[in-house]
């Protein structure tokens, strides 16, 4: 398996693939998506700065998908940017013939996999961090696995969770909801999860200190030793208020 680090401006990603052509396809797909977002930001500056749902002016496909996902979750469009760009990378890999491909865009993952994949749970200073992992079964469809944290990384957050990981087939939605849940959830107040009924979100795992909260259907969780050197640090436009 090929593991390649990729950086372009604020995009800091790790690509996993079986074929160098699929790595190049992922890079191309992410760059195309980035350019769409940059053009939207240039012509519609509020799109890039608001922390509230917003209907953009004349959006192309990627900004439109971000705005839809963010509106459902009650956050600003840029809360979905890393997931949307990761998905674009994996979509390009599939178009190039990949049956396995993963883009980890600063903790927001898009995945298509013809084999079981183990994805570690990193939750900062929580005593549970680095000790467990998801065992994700094979799937021919793209899956989003997006994580937000109030205690890890420089991004703005209004919450206290060490990690909120959201699973959904819509990667932008997984990213937006990870931010929204992380902003609002507490160990003694999980009411934000009530809003997930009827959405595309399949499952959520929240780690707050030594407390674990689960919602929906999650892949099996197994004991693991997470190598922190493999964590992709940073994420797209992190200074625009994403957690």
Please determine, for residue 84, whether its predicted confidence score (pLDDT) is greater than 80: yes
Confidence of residue 50 (pLDDT cuts 50, 70, 90): very high
What is 137-174 written as a DSSP string? Answer: PPEEEEEEEEEE-SSSSSS--SS--SEEEEEESSHHHH
CA 98 – CA 220 distance, rounded (Å): 25
Average pLDDT over residues 41-52: 93
Please determine, for residue 228, whether its predicted confidence score (pLDDT) is greater than 80: no
Please determine, for residue 243, whether its predicted confidence score (pLDDT) is greater than 50: no
Average pLDDT over residues 66-93: 97
The domains of the chain are located at 2-240
184-214: b (≥16 Cβ within 10 Å) or e: bbeeeeeebbebbeeebbbbbbbbbeeebbe
Question: Which residue is it, tokens 């005593």?
Answer: 127
Average pLDDT over residues 28-48: 95
Average pLDDT over residues 203-228: 91
Q: Are 136 and 217 in contact (CB under 8 A)?
A: no
Which tops the pLDDT comparison, 71 or 9? 71
Average pLDDT over residues 204-222: 95
91 phi and psi angles, rounded to 5 deg: -60, -40
Confidence of residue 152 (pLDDT cuts 50, 70, 90): low
54 phi and psi angles, rounded to 5 deg: -150, 135
So what's the pLDDT on residue 241? 32
Q: Are 78 and 241 in contact (CB under 8 A)?
A: yes
Q: Which residues contact 157 (CB under 8 A, 6 or more apart)?
A: 148, 149, 150, 179, 182, 183, 243
Please determine, for residue 197, whether its predicted confidence score (pLDDT) is greater than 50: yes
110-143 confidence digits (pLDDT tens) = 999 999 999 998 887 887 877 899 999 999 999 9
Average pLDDT over residues 71-86: 96
C-beta atoms surrounding 103 within 10 Å:
34
So what's the pLDDT on residue 9? 87
Tokens of 173: 């939605």
So what's the pLDDT on residue 154? 45
Indicate the CATH number for domain 2-240. 3.10.520.10
């Amino acid at each position: 398996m090929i593991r390649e680090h990729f950086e372009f401006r604020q995009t800091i990603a790790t690509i996993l693939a079986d074929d160098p052509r699929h790595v190049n396809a992922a890079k191309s797909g992410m760059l195309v998506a980035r350019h769409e977002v940059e053009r939207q930001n240039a012509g519609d500056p509020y799109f890039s700065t608001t922390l509230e749902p917003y209907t953009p002016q004349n959006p192309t496909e990627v900004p439109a998908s971000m705005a839809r996902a963010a509106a459902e979750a009650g956050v600003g469009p840029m809360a979905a940017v890393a997931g949307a760009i990761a998905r674009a990378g994996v979509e390009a890999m599939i178009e190039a013939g990949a049956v396995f491909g993963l883009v980890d865009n600063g903790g927001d993952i898009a995945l298509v996999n013809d084999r079981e994949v183990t994805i570690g749970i990193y939750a900062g200073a929580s005593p549970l961090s680095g000790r467990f992992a998801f065992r994700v079964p094979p799937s021919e469809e793209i899956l989003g696995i997006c994580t937000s944290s109030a205690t890890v990384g420089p991004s703005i957050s209004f919450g206290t969770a060490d990690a909120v990981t959201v699973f959904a087939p819509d990667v932008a939605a997984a990213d937006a909801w990870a931010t929204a849940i992380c902003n609002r959830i507490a160990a003694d107040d999980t009411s934000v999860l009530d809003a997930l009924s009827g959405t595309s979100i399949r499952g959520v795992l929240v780690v707050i200190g030594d407390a674990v909260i689960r919602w929906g259907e999650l892949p099996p969780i197994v004991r693991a030793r997470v190598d922190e050197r493999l964590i992709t640090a940073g994420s797209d436009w992190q200074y625009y208020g994403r957690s």
